[in-house]
Amino acid sequence: MACTVLAGPGPVAAASALSVTVTGADGRPVEGAVVIAEQAGGAAHPAINAKAVMDQRNLTFVPDVLIVQTGTAVDFPNSDQVRHQVYSFSSAKAFQLALYAGRAHAPVVFDHAGLVTLGCNIHDSMVGYIWVTDSPWFGRTAANGTLLLRDLAPGEYTVRIWHARLNEAGPQLQAQVRVDDGAAATASFRLQHALKAELMHHGADKRWADY
């Protein structure tokens, strides 16, 4: 069975919490998986004056995946010694930051939920992702493949997982979970296929003279 969900008392000590575990097809924990818990029938929770940073260092986006609430303003500083031209054609947020170094552009407000894929017009190997969600309950799994979400409102939730190197799609990537007031719930996901190989990056900075 690709996905199992258990609700009720569990090993989590916190009240109204949800512990989510993601393992690979080989049974090993999956680190860095995106987890989003969306309350059924719940109101959207737009961010108020929220800010986040997606840096550019050593010809990579840092972090490689950023999760923000709808309405968050994301700054895109360029900490490299070469200029970048950040863009996205994603339906959730299409934009382009003209070729720049340092902090030449105002933050970009992400006002629609969905996955935004980032690229650089100068360096094709640079790929990053921003997950925009209406939910305040989200995060990424740790090295042990687990994420603990705290202070959830009681109710029914759809829990979704995603990873930049997923090699599959289907119902095994989401589950229905009930969180009771003062109780803890757990959700466990097991991927059916191995993750794709990591993308190759330059791995080192370059100097202005190289361009």
Kindly report the CATH number assigned to the domain that includes residue 86: 2.60.40.420
* Structural domain that includes position 150: 3-41+141-190
> Does 76 share its domain with 23?
no
pTM assigned to the model: 0.85
User: Do the domain assignments include residue 207?
Assistant: no
User: What is the structure's pLDDT at 199?
Assistant: 66
Show which of 133, 154, 180 is a domain's final residue: 133
Q: How many Å is the Cα radius of gyration of the chain?
A: 19
Mean pLDDT, each 10-residue run in order, the chain (211 residues): 41 70 97 96 81 95 97 96 95 96 95 96 93 96 98 94 96 95 93 87 44 35
Q: Are 63 and 54 contacting, i.e. CB atoms less than 8 angstroms apart?
A: yes
User: Do the domain assignments include residue 199?
Assistant: no
User: What is the structure's pLDDT at 19?
Assistant: 97
> Does 129 share its domain with 145?
no
For residues 48 and 2, what is the distance between their CA atoms, to the nearest angstrom?
37
User: Do the domain assignments include residue 204?
Assistant: no
User: What is the structure's pLDDT at 208?
Assistant: 39
108-119: burial string, b at 16+ Cβ within 10 Å, e else = bbbeebebbebb
> Does 155 share its domain with 121?
no
User: What is the structure's pLDDT at 43?
Assistant: 73
User: What is the structure's pLDDT at 4?
Assistant: 42
User: What is the structure's pLDDT at 190?
Assistant: 97
Number of domains in the chain: 2
Burial of 137: CB neighbours in 10 Å, binned 0-12, 13-18, 19+: buried
For residues 25 and 167, what is the distance between their CA atoms, to the nearest angstrom?
11
> Does 77 share its domain with 126?
yes
User: What is the structure's pLDDT at 15?
Assistant: 59
User: What is the structure's pLDDT at 87?
Assistant: 96
> Does 59 share its domain with 128?
yes
User: Do the domain assignments include residue 197?
Assistant: no
